[in-house]
Each structure stands twice: as C-alpha cells, then as structure tokens.
Amino acid sequence: MPKYVLSRDGYNDLLREYKQAVKLYIDNEDKTLKRRIKEYETMLDSSKIIKIKRLKNNQININEEVSLIITYNEKDIEKVTHKLVAKETNLEEKDLSINTPLGRAIFKKEVGKTITYKVKNHKVKVLIESKIE
C-alpha cells in the first residue's frame, strides 16, 4: 500500500518542490536541503495518485471544507474547520492532508457521524459536524 495518497495536482506540486530543492542544492550543497531532497524522493517514490470521485452528498470528499468537533478527553474539546486535501500540507495551512490520521479518519465518512482514531495510542473522538459550502 502506498504511504502517500495525492491528487494529480498534489503530486505535481511535490515534484515542483523537489526540482526546486535539487536546483538550490546544486548551488550551495546544504546538508539540511540534502535531507529534504531525500524526503521528497521517498514521498514521490511511495505515492499513489488518486482520481477524485463523486461520493454521496453527505460524505466527506477531497477538496471539501468541514467543521469538526474533536474530543481529546472530557475537558479538552475543540471545534475546528479544515479543507481535506490530497497533498502534503504544513502546520500553517488550514488544509488537512488525507495522509494524516485525522484526514484518513474523516475521508468518505458521513456528516453527523462520530468517529474515533488513534494518536500515539490515545483515542480521539471526532464529530463531523457539517460541510461548509
């Protein structure tokens, strides 16, 4: 099974970043950049490109924005909004990659459902509150 699931656009973005990193490395041979190039190579080699298919209207799909209520424990409950994407993301973005535990957990699930996923052997409950149009 592939380690990374990407849309065609997500794969092309990753490939473009890889090529830019290689170009920069040729110019200055930075060790940090060399590690990042290896990461890009691993991601590109172990990626599967998916076609975004239509799902039932109430199921969460790629490129849809959703409102979630995440319950870490009885005292720690958080309401968040994310857009599910089939590309790699960084912490500053509101996008949620399908390659993350939460992204995999909500993909194809129905609005109104409560699901559970694990983070470091800790169960987290997520209510898929709504899709945001």
Say if CB 6 and CB 18 are below 8 A apart: no
User: Helix crossing, 8-28 with 31-45: angle to 10°?
Assistant: 150
Q: How far is 97 from 60, CA to CA, in rounded Å? A: 13
pLDDT digits (tens, 9 = 90+) for 95-130: 898 888 899 999 999 999 999 998 888 899 999 999
- Give the residue carrying structure tokens 């490109």: 49
Alpha carbon 23 to its chain's center: 26
pLDDT digits (tens, 9 = 90+) for 55-106: 788 999 888 999 999 999 889 999 999 999 888 776 667 889 888 889 999 9
Higher pLDDT, 2 or 94: 94
Closest CA to 61 of 96, 13, 31, 19: 96
